[in-house]
């Protein structure tokens, strides 16, 4: 299922990963996201879709909405925890969704927030936090 070498069956690439522990504010989170993208020669304009770990807990969901309506406002938005629940490794479920979207070029209506802004999906950012302590950013790209 996973490998280091690209082959004829490859359709998604984990292009980058960043973890953030107890960020002081949303500006710090945005800085880390922009650093990750810059390391890969990308900007927020290159992100076609963001998959957020929105779970309905009002204590922690504001960070997602701030990114969705601010730094990452030009990308389509999805969420996933309503399908799998909240747990320490929930980001792996989001990675599977992202991989399937890259493979099929279809965003399921069950995860889409609002409307799809771009027809082609080449770069997906996954942003997740667990109890607003452990934050992670994954960059998946089409092969």
Tens of pLDDT, residue by residue, the chain (143 residues): 678 888 888 889 999 999 999 999 999 999 999 999 999 999 999 999 999 999 999 999 999 999 999 999 999 999 999 999 999 899 999 999 999 999 999 999 999 999 999 999 999 999 999 989 999 999 999 99
Residue 93 per-residue DSSP state:
H
- 24-142 has which fold? Peroxisomal Thiolase; Chain A, domain 1 (3.40.47)
Q: Is the pTM of this model over 0.85?
A: yes
Which helix (H) or strand (E) covers residue 125, if one does?
Answer: strand 123-130
Domain ranges of the chain: 24-142
CA dist., res. 71 & res. 59, Å (int): 21
96-115 as b/e: b if 16+ CB within 10 A: ebbbebbeeeebeeebebee
């Amino acid at each position: 299922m996973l490998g280091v070498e690209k082959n004829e069956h490859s359709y998604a690439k984990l292009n980058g990963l960043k973890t953030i522990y107890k960020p002081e504010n949303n500006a710090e989170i945005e800085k880390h996201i922009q650093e990750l993208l810059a390391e890969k020669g990308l900007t927020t304009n290159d992100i076609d879709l963001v998959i957020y770990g929105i779970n309905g807990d009002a204590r922690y969901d504001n960070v997602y909405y701030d990114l969705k309506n601010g730094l990452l406002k030009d990308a389509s938005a999805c969420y996933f925890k309503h399908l799998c629940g909240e747990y320490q490794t929930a980001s792996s479920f989001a990675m599977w969704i992202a991989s399937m979207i890259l493979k099929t070029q279809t965003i399921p209506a069950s995860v889409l927030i609002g409307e799809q802004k771009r027809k082609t999906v080449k770069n997906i950012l996954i942003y997740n936090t667990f109890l607003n302590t452990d934050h992670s950013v994954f960059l998946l790209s089409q092969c």
